[in-house]
A and B are shown apart, each in its own frame.
Chain A
Amino acid sequence: MTTWLIVADDAKVSGLLDLARALPSPLAAVVAGTRELADQVAGWVPAVTWFDTSAVPASGIASAVAGVVAADPGTVVAGMGVDSRLLAGAVAAATGAEVLADVIAAIPSGDGLRVTHLLLGGLATEEVGVIGPVVLVADGRTVPEPGSAAGTVTPAAADASVARVSTEPPAAAGGDLASAARVVGVGRGLKDAGDLSLVQELAAALGAELACSRPIAEGMGWLPTSSYLGISGQRIAPSLYLAVGISGQGQHMIGVRDARTIVAVNSDATAPIVAQADWTIVGDLYQVVPELTRALLVRS
């Protein structure tokens, strides 16, 4: 038996390593990405099978990745990025494994595992006993310190059934939410797409990136889906998160809980965000936000 780590998307795998190292079987990894990523992972994991995805998309190698794991099945730990999930899905199908997502802990228990995972978008945690093959999908969190495992990297190739013809870079070099020190998030308290300028001006005055709750991106389409924060969106840890017209549902707050300071503007003193913020101004954002923008501009 082997505990498999599936790495695609990026090297943010500290959360995955924590899970995998708590399991008894020896660790091996399948990496879909650049040679550099495979070498990085070999610092933490003794044996790495590497699929080069510089010319083929992850979808094209999924069945080959599943074949590698199926040859020596065991518990699989994968991240939540889009490529990690599609590889993990192919592995689950090939090994007849159950899939548990949003996993936060797994420990050996009897013949199987005791797994704790988030339920209902983070509303609750559920503990389950699992006997048999399982794929654990979890938040990779951060890039670990460079490791000294000096693992082997074995290149593998696949008959890709999908070919990449071209890539097109992002249209506008948008700011990077993940590394921004200050972020303004806007929610359904905003009545109209035309009013976005209000929060854009606030973000500019604060030197912050603009983000939002899921409905603003997915339901309304006012901002790109890459800008929403939460369990199914981006998770960030800025020094300041300013939430404007956001109620503070658990699914959103998971994305910002690591912020050093949270400030909210909300018209409802009983909104869940009030208890989860360090400071709240209870008031109408249409009055508070322009005042706040002005006050910040005067200061600077």
Chain B
Amino acid sequence: MSGTVLVAYQWAPSAQGTLVTESGQVDASRASVGLSDSDHVAIEFARGLADQAGARLVALGVGPEAVSAGLATKAVASRGPDEVVVVRDATPTTISVAQALAAQASGMDDLVALVLGDASNDHGTRMVPGVVAGLLGRPLLADVRSVTLGEPATVVTKFAGGTQTLQAYGTLVVQVAPDAVKPRVPGMRDILAAAKKPVQVVDVSASIDNVAVTPISVSPVQPPSRGGRVIAADTPAAAVAQLVNELSQAGVL
């Protein structure tokens, strides 16, 4: 094997099960913790790219303590990576995650590509790929559907409702389109094999930070409430008749 493909992921509580109380407390205790859908896609895509290059695939996770738990690293390893590296960062932000990824990536001289998904489970700001590419001084290949390696590599990305074909040289920084590949569902063998894959845990090094962001307050967003009229009728046909009637009267239909 020659070369390394890195794939970034975040092990984080999903925003979906997260609650925000009236007083602005963020409660993630009931949120499921794991990879986002787009990280699943990114890992699958990166596996294909590593196979194409004959390279090893290293999954690189950044996040709070839970990212280094055996459960987390095994879940990631069962999706195809050969190795897992986790960077513990207690308070990940767009910049700190991007810096941690860039630091790991620039430490690898045989890097073929750094692959990222579209959004993580928690923040979903979709800004990490662009910042990492900038920190590495590489162009970000965004919304990528396929990569054929070579010098130059041929890269197909989504573009203006269709696609565009690009040529890029050197190490690639790839943000995978959410529908580029269908992620695998790990089977028993993958899960057993995952337990044997090497895992390395490092702590985030103090980032160069010339910005101070101070939280002031958090407030829950009340969903805008509308009429909320519920049509109750004995049969679906009767409910539909009533709805169509009311919509016509209101000038909607």
Contacts and interface: CB of A to CB of B under 8 A. Distances in A.
Interface in B201-217: 208-217
Contacts of A279: 227, 229-231, 243, 246-247
Contacts of A235: none
A128 B213 contact: yes
Contacts of A280: 228-231
B24 A292 contact: no
A226 interface: yes
B135 interface: yes
Contact of B16 (A59, A112, A119, A249): A249
A168 B164 contact: yes
A122 interface: yes
Given A97-B211, A278-B226, A85 B15 contact: no
B129 interface: yes
Interface in A125-170: 125-135, 137, 161-170
Which of B118, B152, B230 counts the most A-chain CB atoms under 10 A from its CB?
Answer: B230
A193 interface: no
Contact of B165 (A97, A166, A218): A166
Contacts, number: 292
Contacts of A127: 215-219
Nearest to A215: B37
B140 interface: yes
Give the interface SS of chain B, mostly helix, strand, loop or mixed: mixed
Given A121-B124, A165-B166, A279-B247, A90 B140 contact: yes
A251 B167 CA distance: 36
A129 to B, nearest CB: 4
Given A128-B214, A132-B210, A167-B164, A283 B239 contact: yes
B227 to A, nearest CB: 4
Interface string A52-70: 0000010110110010000
Interface residues on B, range: 35 or more
B193 interface: no
Nearest to B236: A287
B213 A130 contact: yes
B15 A288 contact: no
Interface in B235-253: 236-237, 239-241, 243-244, 246-248, 250, 252-253
Interface in A51-105: 57, 59-60, 62-63, 66, 80, 82-83, 85-94, 96-102
Interface in A215-247: 217-219, 221, 224-226, 231-232, 239-240
Contact of A99 (B24, B95, B220, B239): B95
A75 B241 CA distance: 55
B155 to A, nearest CB: 8
A263 interface: yes
Interface in A270-293: 272, 274-284, 287-288, 291-292
Interface of B: 15-16, 18, 20, 24, 26, 37-38, 93-95, 98, 118-119, 122-135, 137-143, 152, 154, 157-170, 177-179, 182, 208-221, 223-232, 236-237, 239-241, 243-244, 246-248, 250, 252-253
7 contacts: A57-B164, A86-B133, A89-B140, A124-B26, A168-B164, A218-B178, A278-B226
